[in-house]
Amino acid sequence: MDDAPGDRVTDDTGDVTDRVRQVISRLGCSHREFARRIVMDPSKLSRSLGGTRRFTLAEIVRIADIGAVDTGWLLGAPARPAASPDREPAAVPEGGRPLQIVRETVRLIAVHGFHGVRVADIAAACGTSPAAVHYHFPGRDELLEAAVRWCMDEDTERRAAGLAEAPDAGAELRHLIALQTPRTEQQRRQWLVWLDLWAQAARSTAVGRLHEHYYRQWRSTVADVVRRGIDQGVFRAVDPEFTALRLTALIDGLATQVLATAPDSTGPDTMHAALLAFVESELTPAG
């Protein structure tokens, strides 16, 4: 989500950007990993470091927390240096406070829905105060974006791991289908967050852009697998983009049915079988 101009930190001289780079260097992690730790879109971090976007105050607060430096120093106060050069940066807890807040937000959204979750509930789940939650994420919209982006990153990492190990495109597609079938608690939780995202996207242009970004990425992944399968001869010649659109739409519809609580609703096994049947009928070469 784009923040209002008033939320951006002034950095005409580039000092703030330089100090953020120092924090990243001291932590010894990649820019993508640093973005994950502060729960920030990697492209926003890249643009901010490149000077085409200004950091928001909330981002600076999270950077200071993860980097164990003073917020005032990041913003240019000369009397509060980050740390003495001969001292290692403070150890970052497992995931850090921002990620803890995001994970608990995801869990609570899955149980109560986004509008049923209060900041006080998130604070209690994290063993901290509402003020500490607001310290990292000033608004509910920012929390929703961070929760959804964390789910997206987790989903992308699991996809990449399975695709790398698959022997051919057929196995890759079956891996993607298995990941999208809500069997485990984690899979169901993520799907419930997606349902809240869809509802928000229908009412919010900013959330809609996040939704569009994720689905463009997801459909492109499926289309690329189909395209590789055609080249390998394991799939017959079809339109990869149109096939990806149809398959992802089928996944969405079936997953929504699986998440229904009615006793006669579609189950994960039925969903999985229906998706494999689609692959067999639409992609498997004849004979």
Q: Is residue 1 part of a domain?
A: no
Distance, in Å, from the CA atom of 118 to the CA atom of 127, rounded to the nearest integer, reads 14
Shared-domain flag, residues 179 and 277:
yes
Q: Is residue 259 part of a domain?
A: yes
Say if residue 277's pLDDT is above 70. Answer: yes
Query: Residue 77 — pLDDT band, cuts 50, 70, 90?
Result: low
Q: What is the pTM for the complete model shown?
A: 0.65
Shared-domain flag, residues 267 and 182:
yes
Query: In which domain, by residue range, is 220 found?
Result: 166-283
Give the up-direction half-sphere exposure of residue 76: CA atoms within 13 A in the CB hemisphere.
Answer: 10
Beta-ladder partners of 8: 56
| C-beta of residue 4 within 8 angstroms of C-beta of residue 36 | no
Q: Is residue 122 part of a domain?
A: yes
| C-beta of residue 213 within 8 angstroms of C-beta of residue 9 | no
Say if residue 233's pLDDT is above 90. Answer: yes
**266 CB contacts (<8 Å, ≥6 apart)?**
254, 257, 258, 260
Q: Is residue 146 part of a domain?
A: no
pLDDT in tens, 93-107: 456 788 888 888 888
Q: Is residue 185 part of a domain?
A: yes
What is the domain-level CATH number for residue 108? Answer: 1.10.10.60
What's the pLDDT score for residue 94?
Answer: 54
